[in-house]
Amino acid sequence: MAMNVGPASEDGEEQLNNTINTTPLVDVMLVLLIIFLITIPVVTQSIKLELPKERNLPTQTKPENIVIAVNRDGEV
């Protein structure tokens, strides 16, 4: 980005400034900061709800003992 910063030089060419203008960037960042500061309290408000209670009760099963016998021949 170049812009004219002064009168023409001795050879008739204009002097150019090739630096980046950061003013728009700062403006956008400040606007975003203000938007976030305004919206955070709205988002963090909570509504109390009465949720239904749990109806499923865990069933207890009896452990089963399984006995496996293997003889020397490998038969079960």
The pLDDT of residue 3 is 56
Residue 62's φ and ψ, nearest 5 degrees, are -80, 135
The pLDDT of residue 28 is 97
- Identity of the amino acid at 39: T
CA distance 31 to 16: 31
What pTM, to 2 d.p., does this model score?
A: 0.39
- Identity of the amino acid at 33: L
Q: Is 35 exposed, middle or buried (0-12, 13-18, 19+ CB in 10 A)?
A: exposed
Helices (H) and strands (E) in the chain, counts: 1, 2
Q: Which stretches in the chain have pLDDT values below 70?
A: 1-12
The pLDDT of residue 12 is 67
